[in-house]
Amino acid sequence: MAMFHSAKADLGGTPKPVKSGDNTGLIDGLTEISASMSALCIQIGGFSKNLVTPAFYENHTFLNLIQKYFIDERYEIDEAIRKLGGWALDTIEDVTKHSQVSDPSSRLTDPAEIVNHLIPQFKIMISLSQKSWALAIQNKEPAIVGLNISLSDKLTHFQWELKAQAGKYK
C-alpha cells in the first residue's frame, strides 16, 4: 500500500507515492537539511549586510560565498527530495518547522560574534548531512550518497574557514 509523504496535495499536484517505509526517513533528513540551509541563508545574508567592521569587504565577500553555495546546493537537495517522492519546502512555516539551526539571541554585526554563532550551526548541518548520507546508503540511493558526501565535505571546509576566522578575533 502506498502512502504520501506530504499532506500538501491540497496545494496542487499529486505527490509521487512513496512505498511505505522505503524513503520516508531519507526524505525527512533531506528536508531538515533544506530547511536548515534556508534558515542559514537568511541569517548569513543579513549578517553580510549588517557587518560593522573595517574589514567589511573581506567578511562580506566570505559570507556571500557561503550564502551562494547554500542557495545552489539547496536546489540539488530539493531535487533529490522530489526524486524520492517528497515535496520541496515552499512555505516559511515549513522552513521554521523543519530547520534544526537556531537564531542568534540578538542582532549580530561584529565578525567575531557572527563566526561564533555560525560554527555550531555548521556542526549541526554536518551532522544532518552525515545522517542523511547513512540513510542514502541504506536505501541504495548512490546519487544522494554522493550529494551528501559533497555537502558534508563543503560544510566541513566552511566550518574550518570559520574556525580560522575565529582565531583572528581572539
CATH node for 22-168 = 1.20.1260.10
* Residues 6+ away with beta carbon under 8 Å from 127: none
Please count the residues of the chain.
170
Per-residue model confidence as pLDDT tens digits over 98-143: 999 999 999 999 999 999 999 999 999 999 999 999 999 999 999 9
Write down the pTM of the prediction.
0.84
3 state SS of 18? strand
Within the chain, what is the greatest distance between any pair of CA atoms?
A: 61
Cell of 25: 526517513
Taking the C-alpha atoms of residue 79 and residue 76, their distance in angstroms, rounded to an integer, is 5
Residues 73-105: tens digit of each pLDDT: 999 999 999 999 999 999 999 999 999 999 999
- Whether the pLDDT of residue 11 is over 50: the answer is no
Identify the pLDDT of residue 169: 66
